[in-house]
Amino acid sequence: MSGPLTMFDTPRAYIGQPVPRADTKRLLQGRGKFIDDIQLPRMLHAAFVRSPVAHGTITGIDVEEARALPGVIAVYTGADIAPHVEPYVGVLSHLAGLRSAPQMPLAVDVTRWIGEPLVMIIAQSRAVAEDAAALVMVDIDPLDAVTDMETALDPATPVIHAEMDSNLAWERTVDVGDVDAAFARDDVTVVERRFRFGRHTGVTLETRGAVAAFDPSEDELTFWYSGQAPHMMQFIFAKHLGLPEENVRVVSQDVGGSFGIKIHTYGDEIATALAAKLLGRPVKFVADRMESFLSDIHARDHVVDGRIAVDADGRIAALAFDDITGIGPFSMYPRTSAIEANQVLNLTGAPYVMENYRANAKVVFQNKNLMCQYRAVGHPIAMAVADGLLEDAAHEIGMDVVEIRRRNLIPDDAYPTQSASGMKLDDLSHHKSLETLVDAMDYEARRAEHAKLREEGIYRGLGLISMVEVTNPSPMFYGIGGAPIASQDGATIRLDAGGGVHVSSSVTEQGQGTNAILAQIAADVFGVPIERVKVTTGDTRTTPYGGGTWASRGAGIGGEACLQAAQALRDQVLEVAAVILQSEPGKLDIKAGAVVDAEGGAERMRLSDLARTVYYRGNELPSDLKPELIATRHYRVTDFPFVFTNGAMAAEVEVDPETGFVQVLNFWAVEDCGRVINPVLVDEQVRGGVVQGIGGALYEECVYDAEGQLQNATMADYLVPMAFEMPDIVVKHVETPTKTSVLGAKGAGEAGTGGAPGAVMNAVNDALRPLGAAIHQMPMTPERVLRALGKV
Amino acid sequence: MSDTRTIRLTVNGETGSYTVPVRQNLVDFIRNDLGLTGSHVGCEHGVCGACSIEVDGDIVRGCLMFAVQADGAEITTIEGLAESDRGAALRSAFSARNALQCGYCTPGMLATALDYVEAGGAADRAAIRAHLSGNYCRCTGYQSIVDAVCDVIEGRVEA
């Protein structure tokens, strides 16, 4: 690399090293602190009566028997809580035309999906609350349910919200170049496919949950929750429960899986906080597994009609598609359910040089659970459509699927540039990543082996994906649209009297290792052993203001803020040290917990001695020296809407044509997330993401019937990847640091979940091709594979 | 029939008698009555393995056993394992391999893995994966867990 030397041109003790996470010790000894572990004096428990029908008019609710049950403290219907909660609407102003209807924590008058909360019971135990819930009688006159998103806009389909003229929530079209002319050229081959992406959900092993406590003497709400965005929740409770924002404290401790499921605001959470406020007692709500399946946001649910035109040299002449996606009866608050379709329009084909691109997305209401952002928002659809069409086109023109990528991927020396959809791209490495992938998987040898195995009746296939990922979002993501979601984050670093360092950051920890990488950065940049760094995250009262963790922003944004703060603290300490040691700041350095000579490294004084002098014996310092041993810095991305990451992935599968079963034999992932702060953490996050992506490709689906009943709301019926079915996953890195920050880190959290589904679909189609079959529907269940083969 | 019954059992070496509702499952009793919150509840119907604990030497699902059924039993939870030397090598290996992310499945996963190691299981990746196939992990992708178990069996890790 060229350019001036940076701090990363000298060896780092921690940044870039596989330092074990301090948090693992705690978690491995059963000392994690998850939501249901919280017990408060006089704490009550909430349970919800949820709608058993997908669409209906509520004609009566009888709660008398429930209220009379011993141990029941309060029973609230939608009408009971309506006077206490300001309704909320999930729209963003920058998504022009997006509409939704006002929502309340508990349905009032009309219920619109199976699982919508109708009545809240507060009792002395969850068991009693559930007993009481079973005694509530709700009368509902069923209305026709809108369940098929493909007919949701037909004139014959009922309109879910009476005040609207149709079930359309949002529509956007991107039209670049002259698409029709490109498809009409006589030197191009055109491939058309219809893709279907089933609904699936996060299945966080710890279900959503919250403990709310209200102190009427101070008008203060404290809300512990298993979630990703504490400051966003602080705003929401203040606004909708009518509290001063500073009187709301939101705390997020250990979070047992989140994946985007826990960045949203759910009615049951607002209702729990309200109950605590009305009763002046702590209230706990922890969803059971069925409630999670019914009410955690669902994801995907798209039908895409796509077309690609390639010339004889394999160059993409045009790409076009129409996407329809069903989001349930409301746009989720406050992030909105239109972001996924928006990302599909932004990202499809983004790795490739393209002049002609047209994409239309229709986002429609339906009577199913709400669909919204989940890990790798829109990415699996975008990648599977573009690379699915591209691989099929390669086969049509008799070109190898690696070769067609080499001819179309944006050159590594072309940056900065922009995608066909207008996304600003910089610091990407598609070609280097592809070649790293091809080497890692021994591509040619595997192709030859597959050809040989086919003669023995064994059907294996390889599928690749080249991808871009949205990471490090700027204020252009949510803030611009009026959402209370910070894109900037802050870190405060304090030198304590004992010589240890305390980091307080607004990004949050959900197991991905946020606390560990913040400690690595602080230790390296400031100059203390990592054991002397303590990290606090997830508390609106004690951390700087920020966005929390979503869209792969913890390392890139939170990490950069931490770096800047550590640098600032270092400067402050050296200023004091120079006075005490009668030297100059520039001649001193901090290493391993001591102030040392910059040249030669001789130790001059321990940090503990310096801190004790400042804190206890200020009389020894000159009066005009006003030492600060605490520094706060904030960071946001300014020049780009997002800092894109790129990667390349490949799957090897074997398809059994007799049973339709697909086994993933091998998986390779090459990821360029810029500066890797901790390779073990990144590798495991990529692997976990790949496995979630394989889940979406092969197993996971929320199956609804025509009446809107969820058919598989248990862990026994909803399949997720387990250890036995999963392959070992090879992870390789290409490191192209982003120039937008000193740290140079981008995100890696979306990678596997975004790319793996397309890679697996391409691999399955590669295996099926000799049999004259193809499948473009996820999950690729055995039955669907057999259908594709014409066997059922 | 009475709604409650008194049971006597030993948990992590500490014996006591407790009056429990007959409908209460074992993991709820351990978490809520004994305050040992290391065992986690994920699905409440025996699928996810997060509540796996040791009862009289066997790994059982704490959500599929009633507390009254544990009358007279000897139980070890993740906290009990941590207080003893048992599982120390696995804990080190899990930490080094980052074989956990959110840590919610970890107590059950560790108990199941320890069961395999202590029974003399081989460092056979497919066999380890089969043994762990009753435990959900939504974060790691399982590979690092298999690596950690192999590290212990092949003596690559010190407790």
- Same-domain pairing of A535 and A595: yes
Length of chain A: 792
- The verdict on pTM exceeding 0.90 is yes
Asked, for residue A343, whether it belongs to a domain, the answer is yes
Cβ contacts of A83 within 8 Å, gap of 6 or more:
none
- The two tokens of residue A525 are 């940049």
Last residue of a domain, one of A255, A270, A295: A295
A31 CB within 8 Å of a chain B CB: yes
pLDDT at A620: 95
Residue A307 burial (CB count, 10 A):
18
Q: Write out the DSSP string of A119-134.
A: EEEEESSHHHHHHHHT
Query: Where do runs of H (alpha helix) occur along A547-664?
Result: 559-580, 607-616
pLDDT at A355: 97
Cβ pair A48, A219 in contact under 8 A: no
Asked, for residue A173, whether it belongs to a domain, the answer is no
A89-116 mean pLDDT: 96
For residue B45, the chain A residues in CB contact (below 8 A) are 289, 714-716
CA distance B30 to chain A (A): 12
Residue A184 burial (CB count, 10 A):
13
Q: What is the DSSP letter of A88?
A: B
CA distance A755 to chain B (A): 15
- Same-domain pairing of A343 and A219: no
CA distance B38 to chain A (A): 4
Length of chain B: 159
**Angle value at C-alpha A179, between A178 and A180, nearest 5 degrees:** 100
> How many domains would you assign to chain A?
3
- Same-domain pairing of A134 and A86: yes
Range list of β-strands (E), A135-187: 137-142, 168-176
Asked, for residue A175, whether it belongs to a domain, the answer is no
Asked, for residue A186, whether it belongs to a domain, the answer is no
CA distance A697 to chain B (A): 15
Tokens 């937008």, located at residue: A740
B95-113 mean pLDDT: 97
Q: List residues bridging with B6 in a β-sheet.
A: B19
- Same-domain pairing of A433 and A500: no
Q: pLDDT, tens digit, for every residue of A544-562?
A: 999 999 889 999 999 999 9
pLDDT at B1: 46
CATH code of the domain covering residue A101: 3.90.1170.50
Tell me if B103 and A202 make a contact (CB, 8 A cut-off): no
Interface test with A, best of B63, B105, B143, B151 (most A CBs within 10 A): B143
Asked, for residue A178, whether it belongs to a domain, the answer is no
- Same-domain pairing of A236 and A325: no
- Conformation bin of residue A71: beta by default, left when phi > 0, alpha when psi is -120 to 50: left
- Same-domain pairing of A109 and A70: yes
Asked, for residue A183, whether it belongs to a domain, the answer is no
Distance CA A47, CA A130 (A): 6
Asked, for residue A557, whether it belongs to a domain, the answer is yes
| Counts for chain A of helices (H) and strands (E), in that order | 19, 29
Q: pLDDT, tens digit, for every residue of A680-724?
A: 999 999 999 999 999 999 999 999 999 999 999 999 999 999 999
- Same-domain pairing of A89 and A23: no
- Same-domain pairing of A410 and A508: no
- Same-domain pairing of A535 and A453: no
Cβ pair A160, A365 in contact under 8 A: yes
Q: How many Å separate Cα A400 from the centre of its chain?
A: 33
- Domain with A362 in it: 302-475+639-788
- Same-domain pairing of A263 and A377: no
CATH code of the domain covering residue A21: 3.30.365.10
A733-754 mean pLDDT: 95
Give per-residue burial for A703-722: e unless 16+ CB within 10 Å, then b.
Answer: ebeeebbbeebebeebbbbb
**Angle value at C-alpha A630, between A627 and A632, nearest 5 degrees:** 130
Tell me if A29 and B79 make a contact (CB, 8 A cut-off): yes
For residue B94, the chain A residues in CB contact (below 8 A) are 24, 28
A671 CB within 8 Å of a chain B CB: no
Last residue of a domain, one of A271, A295, A319: A295
Cβ pair A761, A679 in contact under 8 A: no
- Conformation bin of residue A228: beta by default, left when phi > 0, alpha when psi is -120 to 50: alpha
Distance CA A172, CA A359 (A): 8
A151 CB within 8 Å of a chain B CB: no
Last residue of a domain, one of A610, A635, A660: A635
ipTM score: 0.97
- Same-domain pairing of A20 and A49: no
Cβ pair A555, A597 in contact under 8 A: no
Tell me if A30 and B96 make a contact (CB, 8 A cut-off): no
For residue B38, the chain A residues in CB contact (below 8 A) are 29-32
Asked, for residue A748, whether it belongs to a domain, the answer is yes
- Same-domain pairing of A90 and A50: yes
* pLDDT band with cut points at 50, 70 and 90 for residue A477: confident
**Angle value at C-alpha A43, between A39 and A48, nearest 5 degrees:** 105
For residue B159, is pLDDT > 70? no
pLDDT at A12: 85
Distance CA B97, CA B93 (A): 6
pLDDT at B158: 75
Query: Which of A324, A375, A740 has its CA nearest to residue A551?
Result: A375
